[in-house]
Amino acid sequence: MSAAAVLDWGLGLAQGMLVLAMALAAWRMLRGPRAQDRILGLDTLYLNGMLAIVVHGMRTGSGLYFEAALILGMIGFTATVALAKFLMQGEVIQ
């Protein structure tokens, strides 16, 4: 088995596991009994989505996916901070 075949197999397995993790995070986001659980599910969902984009970029060899993952990470982090601040203080902008 060549190194390229092992890498392709490993990246495919990683993508599959990330899709499973995204499904479980979406379930937590939709089912969470408290708002904190839903925010944690959203945070996990965007992080796994970002990693899935990076793995896809590695698989295709395109650098454009890495930039998209960076933008998704920045937007997801900002959304998580805003939601956490809203839960703690009741408002986002003071």
What range does the domain containing 11 cover? 3-89
The secondary structure of 26-92 as a DSSP string is HHHHHH-SSHHHHHHHHHHHHHHHHHHHHHHHHHHT-THHHHHHHHHHHHHHHHHHHHHHHHHHS-S
List the CATH number of the domain containing 38: 1.10.287.3510
Per residue in 6-65, pLDDT (tens digit) is: 999 999 999 999 999 999 999 999 998 998 899 999 999 999 999 999 999 999 999 999
- Does 94 map to a domain? no
- Does 7 map to a domain? yes
Prediction pTM value: 0.85
Query: In the chain, how many domains are there?
Result: 1
CA atoms within 13 Å, Cβ hemisphere of 45 = 16
- Does 50 map to a domain? yes
pLDDT at 94 over 70: no
